[in-house]
Chain A
Amino acid sequence: MDQDEKSFEILVAEYRGMVHAYCLGIVGDAHLADDLAQETFIVAHRRLADFRPGESFGAWLRGIARNLIREDRRSAARRHVVADSDVVAGMEDVYARLDDKSRGDSWNERLGLVRGCIEALPAVMNQAMALVYGSGLAVAAAAARAGASADTFQRRLSRARDKVRECVETKLRLERVL
């Protein structure tokens, strides 16, 4: 069990960024996501014996996180999101790709990859991302801060998200080729 414990410690260090991001995407509240991520690892620690070697540890953790979100009263407004198999499958499309352990790098490095893509955005899109995701402003407030109409800002934000997704996917493909 000692060896298992050590392995688990390493896995926690490696996956906590992923679990936090996953919970944050669903509940949209950084504090709550912090709590849920910690809860996820506590539950995972207790149920480590249930994990089957060879399966995706990341997917297993995300399953635990979804269950916690379903049970947590503070995330009641988003419960239906994790109960929908299509939404969950859509999230898995992205996360399973990032789970790929073939390069052996950590989730924090993968998040670094996302940061790199955000930095590479045109200035106005970078600002939109920073206002909404970095400062936590609502779209209307962020639009006002950026001096744009809400519609324009929403379109800008949507394009920025698409660009980041494309950028991350391209980088992952390039890494595989190289």
Chain B
Amino acid sequence: MSRPEPLPRDAADRRRLGRQLAVDGLVASALTGSEAGRTAAAAPDAAAGSMASRLRTRRRRGMGLFWPAACAAAAACALAVFWHFGTDAGPRPLDGDIRTEDGQTAASLSTGQWYRAGSEGARLSAPGGGSIEISGETVFAPLQRGVMLRSGEVTGRELASAELRAGPLAARAAAPGTSVLLARPAGAEPDEAAVAVLSGRALAGRGTPGASLSAGHVLACGWGVEPRPFAAGELRALIEERRGALAGRGECDRYQGILGEYAASVERMRRELQGLPPGTPEAEAMESRIASLTECAAAHQRRVPQLKADAAEHARIDRREAFLDRVIRESRTGQPTATAAVHGPESPACGVLMASTSP
């Protein structure tokens, strides 16, 4: 079925093919039934009853990932870190308020100041949620207000072994002047993260930075693609292709609307039924219509979980494509074009931590 089979040249043969397809459909449908019509097909009908044992129970193909969130795009935002491997950075002391959080000492970091993570590394949090681990001795500068040091030390300088981690990914520069964009969605699966090289060359990998990435290339974890470097454009085309198997973006809302209409109709018919004398043909006809409508609604309802999963997958693809678009754009110029938060309208509270080592 993957390749179109050629049709017969002769018109009569094509017409015959049409009749055959019609019979094929009827026979297959009679033997297996449709999801919606199975109840009716299994009704105590002389012919149907004897075939009921052949009716198979079907299970819908799942998408694997299902976020039981609202139909609208799932609220997940990107926590992005940009850092630049340079030559040196002057050591700066921690600057800002000292706070106590969860019984531990924490400090808010000033924007535009250079910091270096201590030998044990550091964990920072962005104001909208999400966090990033800074590996030991990394020098960086937060470019967003409200970034918090959640644990570890931030004091020194030196860039020789600068390395950043997000989720399962680790990356470090393999050439002077390397710029890397590291992204990890807040609230993402523990496995999800991506690293892209904007200029220069970096080593990146799962746990250990083993794969070499040149400018414009991306390594992603938890995206359902091979764990190897992809050109950003190639990866974008690959994930865009997945939309083909998904229901349209608005389908879930549309189905919910139809289900609302069904519910209202059933409610209205039940009220009408109460006004009819029980046992009369009118009442029985009304009961039959209610049963029929309820069955239709149930058939639609069965599709909703899949549509929700498809909507969530659209949202994930949108977020990943936004990241890849940025990589494509910025790896051409070698310069970051945006320092604003990367978040969609569905996640207004999402924050972005921008950190950079000293140029």
Contacts and interface: CB of A to CB of B under 8 A. Distances in A.
Sorting the interface of chain B by its residue count into under 10, 10 to 19, 20 to 34 or 35 or more gives 35 or more
Interface in B6-21: 7, 11-12, 14-21
A128 to B, nearest CB: 11
A12 B34 CA distance: 13
A26 B27 contact: no
Nearest to A87: B18
A81 B7 contact: yes
A13 B40 contact: yes
B21 A161 contact: no
A161 B20 contact: yes
Interface in A126-145: 129-130, 133-136
Contacts of A146: none
B26 interface: yes
Interface in B67-81: none
A45 B15 contact: no
Interface residues of A, number: 69
A2 B268 CA distance: 10
B160 interface: no
Most chain B beta-carbon neighbours within 10 Å: one of A22, A31, A73, A86:
A86
B25 interface: yes
Contacts of B47: 112-113, 115-116, 119
Contacts of A118: 27, 30-31, 51
A114 B146 CA distance: 71
B37 A90 contact: no
A99 B11 CA distance: 24
B298 to A, nearest CB: 12
A156 interface: no
A43 to B, nearest CB: 10
B297 to A, nearest CB: 10
Chief secondary structure at chain A's binding surface: helix
A41 B1 CA distance: 25
Interface stretch (B56-64, B126-134, B207-215, B343-351): B56-64
A77 B4 contact: yes
Interface string A132-171: 0111100000000000000000000000010011001000
A54 B23 CA distance: 26
Contacts of B155: none
B35 A115 contact: no
With most chain B CB atoms within 10 A of its CB, the pick from A6, A35, A113, A115 is A115
A9 B48 CA distance: 23
A31 B54 CA distance: 17
B18 A34 contact: no
A87 B4 contact: no
B24 interface: yes
Interface stretch (B188-196, B232-240, B287-295, B317-325): B287-295
Contact of B31 (A16, A20, A41, A130): A130
A109 B41 CA distance: 8
B296 interface: yes
Contact of A129 (B25, B27, B37): B27
Interface string B268-296: 11000000000000000000010011011
A25 B295 contact: no
Given A16-B37, A134-B32, A112 B21 contact: no
A134 B26 contact: no
Contact of B34 (A5, A33, A89, A113): A33
B15 A94 contact: no
A30 interface: yes
Interface of A: 2, 5-6, 9-10, 12-13, 16-17, 20-31, 33-35, 37-38, 41-42, 45, 73-74, 76-81, 84, 86-95, 98, 108-109, 111-116, 118-119, 129-130, 133-136, 161, 164-165, 168
Across the A-B interface, give the 7 residue pairs with the lowest CB-CB distance, nearest first.
A90-B18, A25-B25, A21-B29, A20-B34, A94-B22, A86-B14, A90-B15
22 contacts: A9-B265, A13-B295, A17-B37, A20-B29, A20-B37, A24-B29, A25-B26, A29-B1, A78-B4, A81-B21, A86-B15, A87-B14, A90-B17, A93-B15, A94-B26, A98-B26, A108-B40, A111-B26, A112-B45, A112-B48, A115-B50, A115-B51
Interface of B: 1-5, 7, 11-12, 14-32, 34-37, 40-41, 43, 45-48, 50-51, 54, 56, 58, 60-61, 244-245, 254-255, 258, 265, 268-269, 289, 292-293, 295-296, 299-300, 303
